[in-house]
Structure 1
Amino acid sequence: MPPAPDEPPITKPAASSPAAPKSEYWLTRFVLLRFLGFIYFIAFLCAVKQLIPLIGHDGLLPADDFLHRLSEHLGSNSEGFFELPSLFWLGISDDGLMLVSWLGLILSVVVMCGYANSLIMLALWALYMSIVNVGQLWYGYGWEIQLLETGFLAVFLCPLLDWRPFPRRAPQVAVLWLYRWLIFRIMLGAGLIKLRGDACWRDLTCLYYHYETQPIPNPVSWWLYFRPHWFQRFGVLWNHFVELIVPWFGFYPRISRHIAGVLMVSFQIILIISGNLSFLNWLTIVPCLACFNDTFWARLLPRALVQRAHDATKRAQPSSGAEFAAVFLCLVIAILSLEPVMNLISPGQVMNTSFNRLSLVNTYGAFGTVGRERFEIIFEGTSDPSPQSATWREYEFVAKPGDPKRRPPIIAPYQPRIDWQIWFAAMATPQQYPWTFHFVWKLLHNDPGTLSLLANNPFPGEPPRYIRAELYRYHFAPPGTQDGAWWTRERVGEWLPPLSVDHPQFRQLLREEGWLKPNEP
């Protein structure tokens, strides 16, 4: 395969250096697919551990009820499938949810180990889309559709059947250009939504608040929060530079593109270190990798691996079918990009939105607004007969702040999904997040699935008699705090009043939502 027009031929390396492969992107494809396999692994691991208590038959938001309501609204299962494509339209059960999750987990390990072809990548994409489209609010984050778009492009980066790490088919350069188009839209969309959204991004003060108010801070977030204001303002300027200026150079010749790739990858690493933002920033690294060609990787990867890529060029065979598929994909992506591009240039830009049912080309963005204060909902239970004079015990979540003395965790790229939704709920009312009533009902019954989503169970013997939710305002504790606390907090008020299993209005709400059957005690 001849070099791309914008790049000089790769000269023969010195005897002391690993042999760089003649084709520009064999190592790029190898690294990109392995890293994408890792992201799929994390995504399916989250599903294996959390899907049943979240959307199982007895979960907080049962997916079978969701599909039934959607089918009734649209008229049939087939109409539902075309609206939200998912394998679960063929039948959904807890066993089926686990089968899809475990199958995706196993296939992602296969890809991580170096074995991938179009069929495996297509299966991973279809399995994950099946989960996302029944996941409801638990899967309503921008990185879900970003993973689907990233994963779909990978289908065309591999040969159809050959699953060797270095197959006979050379990578289709056109697909790598589509990855560059993807990272361009991700970065530019994130930068523009900030400038158009919150004024603190324009006056350079957003990082005064972000580290404390982001969904799940980590210990580094605490350290960053107490840096001087000049440091925070510089961080905002650097954010604007990397998101608004650097992505354009991803379309430039090799040296400029490599520098752009390094800057964008390093920026994502900084974001990874600064907080627990699920697998978003890990995933965003994947299309950044398309900025590099094999001359870059030959300096970083083991000599034996570089030599294997070099040897693969000797047996490389052209494929008219693969070239046709890549051209067809480019045409499809070009057409589907029209609406996302119009959204990018629109003053009414929206973020994290799909414009087609398969989530093939989407619009992205993050933190268009930044909270100035952090609020937390603390769920408490008691076994006392009267809530007015009761002793209350707190439930702790896996990652979100609770006990002020508890150190913020480092948990990303894994995402405890209920912790994230509690973060959103704390900025709203219980009526806006009705699933919280079902959550309380589950706690009142010591439901094992729901408790598996938490860090503790204050009532291991028998369920509590009452559950309530209190709203607190949290701040990072200043350095040198005497009791070693990470947080300070003050009570704001009641978020949910004490509820028991025989509370009439509580039971009526559960019935209206379909979570309590007419004859259920």
Structure 2
Amino acid sequence: MALVRATRDAFLWCMAVIYLFAFSSFYVQIPGLLGDNGILPARVIEFKEVNSVAEFFRGKPTLLRLMPFLGLTIEKGMDLLCLLGILLSFLCMTIKSFRNSIEYGALWLLYLSLYQVGQTFFYFQWDILLLEAGFLSILVAPLNMYILIWKTVPYHHHDNISLFLVKWLLFRLMFASGVVKLTSMCPTWWGLTALNYHFESQCIPTPLAWYAHHLPPWLLNLGVTATFLIEIVIPFLFFAPIRHLRRFAFYTQVLLQIGIILTGNYNFFNLLTITLCVSLLDDDFFQKRKSRRSKQKSFWYRVADWVLTVAAYGYLIYILVKYFSLSFGPGYTSLRTKIAFTKTEFSDWLAKTVPYTIILGAISLGIEILVSLVRCWQSEKTLFRRLTSSFGVCLMAGVAALMFVVSLVPYTVIDVKSNTNLMPQIKTWHRKLDHLHLTSSYGLFRVMTGVGGRPEVIIEGSNDMKDWKEYHFLYKPGNLTERPVFVAPHQPRLDWQMWFAALGNYQHNPWLLTFCYRLLTGQPEVLQLIKHNPFPEKPPQYLRAKLHHYHYTSPKQMSVKYSKVDWWTRESVNEYLPILVKNDQGLQEWLQQNGIFQPIEKVKHSNLLVKAVSTVRNYFGQPEGFTFVMSIFSAGLTINLISKYFHY
């Protein structure tokens, strides 16, 4: 089994970058989202008093509990946690010796602390995915104090075991994401027409999404078929003993994520998925020359390698032809695909396959543990080193086994029978650890939205209920002439929640009432989260929201001069939110019940820490998110390149 030292280092570097994106993106939005005058002030959350470390981790573990002891308010505390996260992730990104368990444990705890108070604005799958991947990075990173003496982090024999957990997470993420598209019984997925709507209806499309939307229908159908193949079938190659097949799986997964990045702004999610894909590689991928072991492979080993590789590729083609009816169109100028299995057949297949995937994962983990133990005794020279290395492997094996078993509870959600057959004790363990988000269930794009048109909530203000002016957001569609933008890896959380709000009603999105109230009062922190305030001098007296359906313009409607054309067309659907006034009694009572009018806590005494956090916030303010995030990343990347060039 190949070494994974370079793989481990690449994974840890990528995780540091993802953390940097996450913390810096959230930092610029704290005042407007969760600040004292924000949409959902975190200060209204009550924290139970804890008297021990055990009690701290039993409830909702967050370091914000400690802020009063430091003389900080909750808002300043969130600023502090974000700044610490940015600093630590920047150090892990730029200095190799900082990439150890202590730093990654701190990063995980910092993000978990923010997640616990994030409320609606943190209800995203990529946030819980980052928490799970972040916890695994603690296990992947070496536990040492080499940061004190600036020494290269050594290779450990249990690295293959910890990286297996990353691979297992990647498998659960991709396999579940593919399966739920079919178990949801969404007609667009079953009809292979989902991409006909996806590029138009996704939250924040990029400029390239317009072009992708107008691709030939047969090519979009083929794209859906490829998605099913990449998400449901190819993940089984993650556990292949042949390097070529694992690399093929790596390339296909990365290709899918790059396609999503180019056409949609999904913040750091796709980059995080690519980071998980690094676990499919070994050191041979990162080295310029093949290892000595690769050159010493026997003739029959290479023959078996070649035969199994050809067989795997052949089976993929067989699946395309048999189960997706792949064929040429008229004149051999296109490819046609159609699902050739029934919903009942798929349900039966899933019920049989999920238990086998668990067995496959368990066997793969067992092999990793066994090989790691054998390697300890083969590579170490002294008995003491063999025993200590074996102890480390056994310790990691125990942790990995626990993580694997606990992950079965959220994983088997995709199949009711498999979930029911799990031992009650396993479910008990998961229930006790669930609040830490060590393992979660996933399933992206379960149902395709926007089939009848992209729903958008347009908020309007007026002073006379006759002349209504629209509020425009920073990134989401609103202005018909506004060109879509690239904003990832920054995540504009308000824009995202506005997209979700358009899929339902304001009764199911009560935060929207607070947002509208902040607009009626002209709250500066909240106004920083939108692009165009039509009432710069004085807030409007009335506010309302209307639901519209947006569609891309056709190629014939587009001109060469992008600035003078409409990218969108729209039609009004209905009233989304009735007219609101600031002093409306019902609105005031609702805000009172939800703690919006609670007195804002003031700093009792200004110490050095309070002044430092306030100074940084006053200096940066609330800058544009994408620019802020990419500026910090560019600085770190520049340091990386200089260090590599000068061998520093």
Whether the aligned pair in 1 keeps the contact of 2:411 and 2:440 (CA below 8 Å) is no
Letter in 2 for 1:58: N
1:347 deviates by 7.4
Structure 1's 454 and 80: CA in aligned 2 closer, same or farther, altered over 3 A?
farther
The answer as to 2:194 corresponding to 1:228 is no
The structure with more radius of gyration: 2
Whether the aligned pair in 1 keeps the contact of 2:8 and 2:140 (CA below 8 Å) is yes
Letter in 2 for 1:298: Q
Q: Name the SS for the 1:473 alignment partner.
A: strand
Whether the aligned pair in 2 keeps the contact of 1:430 and 1:436 (CA below 8 Å) is yes
1:122 deviates by 0.3
The answer as to 2:527 corresponding to 1:451 is yes
The answer as to 2:17 corresponding to 1:38 is yes
Q: Name the SS for the 2:473 alignment partner.
A: coil
C-alpha distance in 2 between matches for 1:78 and 1:93: 23
Which position in structure 1 is the counterpart of 2:251?
262
Among candidates 447, 450, 455, match of residue 369 of structure 1: 447
Structure 1's 266 and 399: CA in aligned 2 closer, same or farther, altered over 3 A?
same
Letter in 2 for 1:187: M
Q: Name the SS for the 2:545 alignment partner.
A: strand
Misfit runs of 4+, over 3 Å: 76-81, 163-166, 317-322
The answer as to 2:547 corresponding to 1:478 is no
Which position in structure 2 is the counterpart of 1:136?
119
The answer as to 2:575 corresponding to 1:494 is yes
Structure 2: runs of 5 or more not aligned: 68-72, 291-378, 420-429, 559-563, 600-648
1:348 deviates by 10
C-alpha distance in 2 between matches for 1:289 and 1:165: 24
C-alpha distance in 2 between matches for 1:414 and 1:255: 34
Q: Name the SS for the 1:84 alignment partner.
A: coil
Letter in 1 for 2:113: S
Structure 1's 334 and 348: CA in aligned 2 closer, same or farther, altered over 3 A?
closer
- Write out per-residue CA displacement over residues 400-426 of structure 1, whole angstroms, 9 at most, x where no aligned residue: 101000001110111100101111111
Among candidates 509, 516, 534, match of residue 440 of structure 1: 516
Whether the aligned pair in 2 keeps the contact of 1:36 and 1:151 (CA below 8 Å) is yes
The answer as to 2:93 corresponding to 1:112 is yes
C-alpha distance in 2 between matches for 1:213 and 1:35: 30
Which position in structure 2 is the counterpart of 1:504?
585
C-alpha distance in 2 between matches for 1:196 and 1:415: 29
Among candidates 264, 288, 291, match of residue 277 of structure 2: 288
Whether the aligned pair in 2 keeps the contact of 1:211 and 1:217 (CA below 8 Å) is yes
Which position in structure 1 is the counterpart of 2:595?
514
1:434 deviates by 1.2
Which position in structure 2 is the counterpart of 1:216?
204
Among candidates 488, 494, 509, match of residue 412 of structure 1: 488
Which position in structure 1 is the counterpart of 2:38?
59
C-alpha distance in 1 between matches for 2:54 and 2:102: 24
Report which structure shows greater RCO (CA 8 Å, sep ≥6).
2
Which position in structure 2 is the counterpart of 1:15?
none
1:105 deviates by 0.7
Whether the aligned pair in 1 keeps the contact of 2:257 and 2:274 (CA below 8 Å) is yes
TM-score, normalisation: structure 1 = 0.85
C-alpha distance in 2 between matches for 1:300 and 1:94: 52
- Write out per-residue CA displacement over residues 443-502 of structure 1, whole angstroms, 9 at most, x where no aligned residue: 112111101111122222222222221211100111132651100011112212222222
C-alpha distance in 1 between matches for 2:398 and 2:459: 53
Q: Name the SS for the 1:67 alignment partner.
A: coil
The answer as to 2:409 corresponding to 1:339 is yes
Which position in structure 2 is the counterpart of 1:145?
128
C-alpha distance in 2 between matches for 1:116 and 1:81: 24
Among candidates 223, 230, 234, match of residue 246 of structure 1: 234
Range with greater deviation from structure 2 (459-468 or 200-209): 459-468
Letter in 1 for 2:590: L
Greater helix proportion = 2
The answer as to 2:311 corresponding to 1:330 is no
Letter in 2 for 1:206: A
1:77 deviates by 12
The answer as to 2:62 corresponding to 1:86 is yes
Which position in structure 2 is the counterpart of 1:402?
478
1:337 deviates by 2.1
Whether the aligned pair in 2 keeps the contact of 1:67 and 1:134 (CA below 8 Å) is no
Whether the aligned pair in 2 keeps the contact of 1:77 and 1:89 (CA below 8 Å) is no
Range with greater deviation from structure 2 (95-104 or 449-458): 449-458
C-alpha distance in 2 between matches for 1:60 and 1:165: 46
Among candidates 145, 154, 163, match of residue 168 of structure 1: 154
Letter in 1 for 2:210: W
Q: Name the SS for the 2:142 alignment partner.
A: coil
Whether the aligned pair in 2 keeps the contact of 1:30 and 1:166 (CA below 8 Å) is no
Whether the aligned pair in 1 keeps the contact of 2:42 and 2:75 (CA below 8 Å) is no
1:45 deviates by 0.9
Range with greater deviation from structure 2 (333-342 or 447-456): 333-342
C-alpha distance in 2 between matches for 1:335 and 1:348: 13
How many equivalent residue pairs? 475
- Write out per-residue CA displacement over residues 280-335 of structure 1, whole angstroms, 9 at most, x where no aligned residue: 1111111110111111111499xxxxxxxxxxx999x8763643442222122122
Structure 1's 510 and 192: CA in aligned 2 closer, same or farther, altered over 3 A?
same
Whether the aligned pair in 1 keeps the contact of 2:469 and 2:534 (CA below 8 Å) is yes
- Write out per-residue CA displacement over residues 64-120 of structure 1, whole angstroms, 9 at most, x where no aligned residue: 21235xx49x9x999785232211233461111100000001111111113311100
Letter in 2 for 1:32: F
Which position in structure 2 is the counterpart of 1:192?
179
Q: Name the SS for the 1:458 alignment partner.
A: coil
Whether the aligned pair in 2 keeps the contact of 1:379 and 1:468 (CA below 8 Å) is yes
C-alpha distance in 2 between matches for 1:430 and 1:508: 17
Which position in structure 2 is the counterpart of 1:378?
458
Structure 1's 407 and 165: CA in aligned 2 closer, same or farther, altered over 3 A?
farther
Structure 1: runs of 5 or more not aligned: 8-23, 302-312
C-alpha distance in 2 between matches for 1:266 and 1:211: 17
C-alpha distance in 2 between matches for 1:330 and 1:424: 36
C-alpha distance in 2 between matches for 1:177 and 1:165: 26
Letter in 2 for 1:140: Y
